[in-house]
Amino acid sequence: TDPTYVGLINRVRLAGGVPRYLPLRPGADGWRLDLDSLQELDRESIAAALLMSPAMPTGAVFTEDDWRALSDFCHDADCWLIDNTAMERILFDGRQVVHPASFADMRTRVISVGSASKEYRMIGWRVGWVVGPADIVADVARVSISNVVCQTGIAMGGVAAAINEPNDGVAASAAELQRRRDLILAELAEFKVVPPHGGWSMLVDVSELGMDGPTASKLLLEKGKIAATAMINWGGEHCANYVRLVYSNEPVERLEGIGSRFRSALL
C-alpha cells in the first residue's frame, strides 16, 4: 500500500523486485484502499502482492470487500498474496479479523507471515513464522537456514508459551491501544490526523501548516519533545506531507497534553 512501512519496500528491492504501490486514500473516518487503482495495475508484471492489515504506518484495516477484491486480483494475475499478519488482531471499534486464505481458491496462493513482536509485545525476541503451501514453505526454509540459521531455544520456548496461553492479553492490549488512539485524536482535533482502525501508529498531515514532514519532525522534537517520524520514502511523493506518531509504549497518562505540545511546536 501507499503509504507503507519502508522496511517492506526495501525487502522487495533486496529480493530484486520493483515495488508497485496501491494507494490508500485518507479521509475524516480513516484510510480506504483505492480499489479503482487496483484494477489499473498491470497483472502481467505482478509476481506477488505484499500486504498488511492493519497496515503500517497508517493503521488502515482492510474490509471483507477489500480482501475479496485483492484475492480476485491475485487469482487473475496468477500471483502470490503475502499477508503480513503481525498485527492482525490489533483492531479497534469492534472490527474482526478477515483472512484472505478464507476466500475461494486462495489457500494455495496465500503466504502468511506472522510474528510475536506486535500482538504479543515481544519485539526483542525476534520470533516469527510462515504458513503457506508446502512447496513454498520448503523454499522459505532453505533461504532461512542460509541467512539466519535458527532462532534460540529460549526465545522459541517463550513465544510458544505466549501463544498457548488462553489469556494471551492480545484483546486487552488492543483495548489499551484504542484508548491511546482516542486520546491522541481528541488532543489533536485541530490538526489533520487520519484516524487509524488498528495497529499502534497514526499519520498527521502537516502540509496545510505550510511545511513538510521533515520540518515538522524537527520542530516537534526540538520544541515539543515529541518524536515523530517524517514519512519521506515510505511510499509515493505525497508521503512527504506526513509525520508518524507511534503510541505502542506510551501510557495514556504520558500522552495527555500532547495537543498543547503540538501547538507550541507547529503553530
Instruction: Give pLDDT tens digits for 105-164.
Output: 999 999 999 999 999 999 989 999 999 999 999 999 999 888 888 889 999 999 999 999
Burial grade of 204 (CB within 10 A; 0-12, 13-18, 19 or more)? buried
Torsions phi, psi for 172 (to 5 deg): -65, -40
Q: Are 34 and 26 in contact (CB under 8 A)?
A: no
> How many residues can be counted in the chain?
267
Residue extents of the structural domains in the chain: 6-163, 170-266
Q: Please give the pLDDT value at position 104.
A: 87
Percent of the chain with pLDDT strictly greater than 70: 100
Provide the CATH topology of domain 170-266.
Aspartate Aminotransferase, domain 1 (3.90.1150)
Question: CA-CA distances (angstroms) from residue 212 to 34, 61, 218, 237, 266?
Answer: 24, 26, 10, 11, 11
- At a CB cut-off of 8 Å and minimum separation 6, what does 122 contact? 116, 158, 159, 162
Question: What is the mean pLDDT of the segment spanning 25-29?
Answer: 94
The predicted-structure confidence for 63-105, as pLDDT tens digits, reads as follows 999 999 999 999 999 999 999 999 999 999 999 999 999 998 9
Which grid cell is 267? 503553530
- Kindly report, residue by residue over 235-246, the tens digit of the pLDDT: 999 999 999 999
pLDDT of residue 85: 97
Give residue 196's pLDDT band: very low, low, confident or very high (50, 70, 90). very high
pLDDT for res 151: 84
Average model confidence (pLDDT) for the chain? Answer: 96
Helix (H) or strand (E) holding 223: helix 213-224
**Architecture of domain 6-163 in CATH?**
3-Layer(aba) Sandwich (3.40)
